[in-house]
Chains A and B, each alone.
Chain A
Amino acid sequence: MKQQIVTRYVPLLLLAIAWELASRLDLVSSTALPPLTDVIRAWIDLIKDGELITNGLASLYRAAAGLTLAIVLGAALGIFMAWWKPVNALFAPIVEIFYPLPKSALIPVTVIWLGFGDGSKILLIFLGCMLPVTLGAYNGARGSEQALVWSARSMGANQLRMMWDVVLPSALPELLNGIRTALALSFILLVSSELIVAQKGFGYLIGFLGANGNYDAMYAVVVTVAFLGFAADRGYLLITKRALAWRE
């Protein structure tokens, strides 16, 4: 088992070696691609002087706040849309129009509304991540088995009770899937909005280091963000598996 994991990640090791050699042997200019070891050294320096951590925490706070809002309001909207037809008639066309909107277009507007700080990023992430959650909750809740709903009703459950005990659990798999999409989107929106305008955060740090020609450090931050995105997705998958264990 352990050996399998090792062979599985050999290709990544090969890529890392190729990276190191390409810049050490001057196959590519070391400005464009600093050697991996230099990048690692720069990363350690960034951790030591605390820059990566302060900026990272600022970014994670924004992502977490926006995403939490998106999940709570998005899931509620999706379930209400599946449950009450008037809500559906009111919101479905709006969702349908805004869903395909490339959310990055909202970056300048959120800046106009809330300025350059945390508020505009949180609003952007909230707006951008809400619809995938809504759609997941809606599709999941709509697909809840009528037999379950009927039996709950015949057993005298009221609307609220039914929503909580029947509709929400059966909507859960699709809802969780929608949240996964939202999680990936939140990273994209976070980084791009911070690259465009910010005074702190990962995106700001990348832009700042790049503008100063400090490419080792810039690569270090880029790789950190990419890895965080990956880790968040994997961590989320683990939690989802737990949450859906009752279905097996």
Chain B
Amino acid sequence: MAGINQIASGGALPDGIPEKIARAAYHVFWGAARVSSIAVLLIAWEWLARSGTFTPFQLPAFSRVLDRIWSDALSGDLALNTGLTLYRAMAGFLIAMVGGIVLGMAMSRLRLARWFFDPIISIGFPMPKIAFLPVVMLWLGVYDTSKITMIVFDVIFPVVAATVIAIQGVERELLWSARNMGANEREILWQIVLPAALPQIMTGLQVALPLSMIVAVVTEMLMGGYGLGGAMMTASRFANSTGVFAGIVEIAVIGYALVKAMALIRRRLLIWHQEANAPA
């Protein structure tokens, strides 16, 4: 991609401008264009809301929404709700991560586990698990247990599927050479199979993480109580649309931070892998 840009910009260069400066200017220009598009969006929001095209109920001004977030932050509601939502999403995500990787490993090692779980995973993965939410509510009530259970139930499938595919894809030669050099099964698992499978497992986890936030928010909306989803639902019942939009902004920021954090962790963990050197 970078190469093509250079060709494109290089071709259009007027004579006499050093290539380095031209390239720097090119990056600054497009970088500024990126930042400004977010700014334009926010300004457009504010302007549309103030212009009276929409009622404040349909579209509260961005400044009012910020104001609301600020007052939530001061009263401690923001920290409480964010903390609870993050706690549920993270608890569900971590349980599903550990459980999913273990189950995936078991399925690739033990024939019996594979025979039993393979059809369940292949049918369960594409199912909309959220439909089971009333059933989970019936069994476990409306508190943290049922919310976290729902998240685990939803999020474990991509993790298991990624782990199974990842382990299948480990190169035979690696296993053979390790065995040849006298590694026992445990060493092979920890030193060969898991590191070699890590990139794909990470991909599965990167699917699972945003999903855990989606499910956390839905369960909170449906079961009520504290948490960002619950707060949005309360605001919506009282026709408090500023509160609803504040919820969206908060959830968007958290979702964005989580996804970025996950990408960072991936880079760190896979620093040895060739993908880390690839141009982003």
Residues of A whose CB lies within 8 Å of any CB of B are 7-9, 11-12, 15, 31-32, 85-86, 89-94, 97-109, 111-113, 142, 146, 184, 187-188, 190-192, 195-196, 202-203, 206-207, 210, 215, 218-219, 221-222, 225-227, 229-230, 232-234
Contact (Cβ within 8 A) B131 A222: yes
Partner of A85, one of B30, B126, B127, B251: B30
Contact (Cβ within 8 A) B233 A108: yes
A234 to B123, CA, bound (A): 9
Min CB–CB distance A87 → chain B (angstroms): 11
A85 to B5, CA, bound (A): 10
Residues of B whose CB lies within 8 Å of any CB of A are 1, 4, 30, 33-35, 37-38, 41, 57-58, 115-120, 123, 126-135, 137-139, 210, 213-218, 221-222, 228-229, 232-233, 235-236, 241, 244-245, 247-248, 251-252, 255-256, 258-259
A214 to B224, CA, bound (A): 22
What are 10 inter-chain pairs, A to B, with CB distance below 8 A?
Answer: A11-B120, A32-B138, A101-B252, A104-B218, A105-B217, A105-B248, A108-B236, A109-B245, A206-B131, A215-B138
Residue of chain B at shortest CB distance from A128? B214
Apart from the given pairs A86-B33, A102-B251, A142-B1, 10 other A-B contacts in the complex at a CB distance below 8 Å: A85-B30, A100-B210, A100-B258, A104-B218, A108-B221, A192-B133, A206-B131, A210-B138, A222-B132, A229-B131
Residue of chain A at shortest CB distance from B132? A222
Residue of chain A at shortest CB distance from B216? A102
Partner of B128, one of A92, A146, A226: A226
Contact (Cβ within 8 A) A91 B214: no
Known: A89-B37, A191-B130. A106 touches B256 (CB 8 A): no
Contact (Cβ within 8 A) A230 B126: yes
Known: A85-B30, A98-B252, A210-B138. A12 touches B244 (CB 8 A): no
A215 to B236, CA, bound (A): 29
A98 to B249, CA, bound (A): 10
Residue of chain A at shortest CB distance from B243? A108
What residues of A have a CB within 8 angstroms of the CB of B34 in the complex?
89, 92-93
Partner of B251, one of A94, A101, A146, A227: A101
Partner of A188, one of B30, B128, B213, B221: B128
What residues of A have a CB within 8 angstroms of the CB of B132 in the complex?
222, 226
Contact (Cβ within 8 A) A89 B251: no
What residues of B have a CB within 8 angstroms of the CB of A188 in the complex?
128, 130, 214, 218
What residues of A have a CB within 8 angstroms of the CB of B126 in the complex?
184, 229-230, 232-234
A114 to B213, CA, bound (A): 25
Contact (Cβ within 8 A) A102 B210: yes
Known: A89-B37, A104-B217. A207 touches B134 (CB 8 A): yes
Contact (Cβ within 8 A) A206 B35: no
Contact (Cβ within 8 A) B33 A89: yes
Contact (Cβ within 8 A) B127 A229: yes
Min CB–CB distance B76 → chain A (angstroms): 21
